Amino acid sequence: MKRHLEDIEYSENTEVLAKFAKALSHPTRIAILKHLGAQSCCFTGDLVDVFPLAQSTVSQHLKELKNAGLIQGELKPPKIKYCINQENWNTAKSLFNNFFD
């Protein structure tokens, strides 16, 4: 018997894991997270200096990570300071560990 995707119910954890996985699906986003983890926090301009990408591209990657809840930004006019959202990062690690276990 074939099951249709709309017939499958997902747990909240499955949806959260998928959101994190989507955010991590680009190598630049993984590199940004590694950089933020090593620096604790930094400004958008600092990331543009580290990665050979246009500011608009870096900003788009930051937006994806922020929308997934993996990072948080604090407005420090005229800049935005970004750091890892530790609570959600710990949740992501736990969900991925359970998934791969």
CATH code of the region 13-100:
1.10.10.10
pLDDT at 9: 64
Domain coordinates in residue numbering, the chain: 13-100
> Where are the extended beta strands (E) located within 9-76?
41-43, 71-76
Cβ contacts of 19 within 8 Å, gap of 6 or more: 68, 69
pLDDT tens column, 29-76: 999 999 999 988 999 888 989 998 999 999 999 999 999 999 999 998
Q: Please choose, from the candidates 50, 23, 25, the residue with its C-alpha nearest in 3D space to the C-alpha of residue 35.
A: 50
Average pLDDT of the chain, as a whole number: 89
In the prediction, which pLDDT does 4 show? 56
Locate tokens 């949740």: which residue? 91
